[in-house]
Structure 1
Amino acid sequence: MPRISPATVIFDVGNVLMTFDGRRFSRIFTDTEADAQLLYAALFDRPEWSLLDAGAISHDTMRRIAEAALPKRLHHNLHACMDHWHEHSEPLGAVNDLAARLKERGMGVYLLTNANDRIERLLHRTPAWPLADGWVASAFEHVMKPDPSIYELLCERYDLNPANCLFVDDSADNCRGAEVIGMSAFHFTGVADGDVDGSAAALERTIDAL
């Protein structure tokens, strides 16, 4: 009997399809390493950033929280970073190319991301997005990975069978959340390991072997 690949592959976005590096973004919008560290600590490295992704606070609230943690001279840098960091996120070519090949093979391609309500600014830069059969972002649903309910929501919205899905994420915890509802999962470590092409190849081998 031939091997049967999962009918659907569900991709995370940050550090799977697109780079997300708060330290790098902070350096782009400041002039010194010291100021970059201040901006990173005030914005990307705060627990409130997760609240923004959860849809629990607004961008205006996030801005005011970050402003309070920064000297006034860096407020302009903060505003520019909040408005434009997505323009410096780059596609992970090997993974986007794989998504295109999967689509050509007739497989379903979906996106599931913990992201704020401006995520479409980033998605427009994501080569795999026009190929996607559907997507879910946490801020609009007020629930985040690895809560199993967000994976269930995706499946219910698009009539997917979890048993026929492979979920791909750079967080091991998020992979475990998918497994709770019966999905297969692949922990994508390409960005962390500095070997995106190798991790993408391993992902493709995993899909072919299922």
Structure 2
Amino acid sequence: MAVEAVIWDFGGVFTSSPFEAFNRFEAERGLPKDLIRRINATNHHDNAWALFERNEVDAGRFDELFLEESTALGHPVRGADVLPLLSGQVRPRMVEALKTCKQHFKVGCITNNVVSMHSPGQDEIQRAAGAMGQIMPLFDAIIESSKAGVRKPDPKIYMMMCDLLAVEPAACVYLDDLGINCKPAAQLGMKAIKVSGVDQALGELAEATGLSFPAAEPA
């Protein structure tokens, strides 16, 4: 089936991965590398992250639950200390690729997010808001987990996007930086691209869509 829509994750796709910030935080605190990812992967349907991204708990309760979960793994970390790490730097070539795709296909965004990432007024949240403000208006449809009450990797959220765009899953390309989120998209029939870097992602997107995307700027 011909491609009719390209569906994108946001963080880790249009912005640098929060995992980089997680690792810096862990190194600064003398914590095991990838501790935060391990906490988030434990009981991933019903842990603190899952509840917060479905807007089932507020920021205060998330802070408490994350502390409980990290303590259970032997390294107490407050949720409030982790939330500021979610912001990343915008990847301009990915934004340009979105604009190119929009000229040829329907484009949508499925993002797991939270209602209030952390205290307003800090530089990180202002940067994140600025990035989203630039990019989000480009999409034909957007699904935010905190508003929809469902989050990736639940297959329902992918089908919700297909309904909004009026396309079949087999006519979609899906990009996400997490394999766990790509898997259900692929199982539904989408062409799933796990984003591990800009060059890799745009190469696979070009192959899937037949479009051309800008190369990296010379060093």
Q: Would you say same fold, with TM above 0.5? A: yes
The reply to whether residue 108 of structure 1 matches residue 106 of structure 2 is yes
Q: Distance in 1 between matches of 2:183 and 2:168?
A: 17
Instruction: Tell me how far apart the structure 2 counterparts of residues 163 and 42 of structure 1 sit (CA, whole Å).
Output: 34
Match of 1:128, SS state, is helix
Aligned to 2:148: 141
Change (3 A) 1:60 1:149: same
1:9/1:167 contact within 8 Å kept: yes
* Cα deviation, residue 149, structure 1: 0.9
What is the match of residue 19 of structure 1? 16
- Pick closer, same or farther for the CA change 1:63–1:44 going to 2, 3 Å: farther
Distance 2:36 2:109 in 1: 29
Change (3 A) 1:66 1:174: closer
Aligned to 1:128: 135
Q: Does the 8 A contact of 1:52 with 1:59 survive in 2?
A: yes
Give the superposed CA RMSD: 3.3
Deviations 1:47-96 (A, max 9, x none): 412321232322121123356679xxx97xx75763x445x411122221
TM-score (norm 2): 0.68
Partner of 1:193: none
Where does 1:118-197 land on structure 2 (aligned, <5 Å)? Answer: 118=116, 122=128, 124-126=130-132, 127-190=134-197, 196-197=198-199
The separation in 2 between residues aligned to 1:81 and 1:146, in whole angstroms, is 21
Going from structure 1 to structure 2, the CA distance change for 1:15 and 1:23 (only over 3 Å counts) comes to: closer
Alpha carbons 1:98, 1:204 under 8 Å: kept: no
What is the Cα deviation at residue 148 of structure 1? 1.3
Do the aligned partners of residues 56 and 166 (structure 1) sit closer, same or farther apart at CA in structure 2, a change above 3 Å counting?
same
For the residue of structure 2 that corresponds to 1:125, the secondary structure is helix
Paired amino acid for 1:125: A
Counterpart-to-counterpart distance in 2, 1:11 and 1:145: 12
Percent identity, please.
Answer: 22
Cα shift at 1:12:
0.7
Q: CA contact under 8 A between 1:114 and 1:144: conserved in structure 2? A: yes
User: Deviations along 1:113-165, whole A, 9 cap, x unmatched?
Assistant: 2222247x636414432211111122222222222111111122342332321
Cα distance in structure 1, aligned partners of 2:179 and 2:8: 14
Q: Runs of 5+ in structure 1 lacking a partner?
A: 191-195
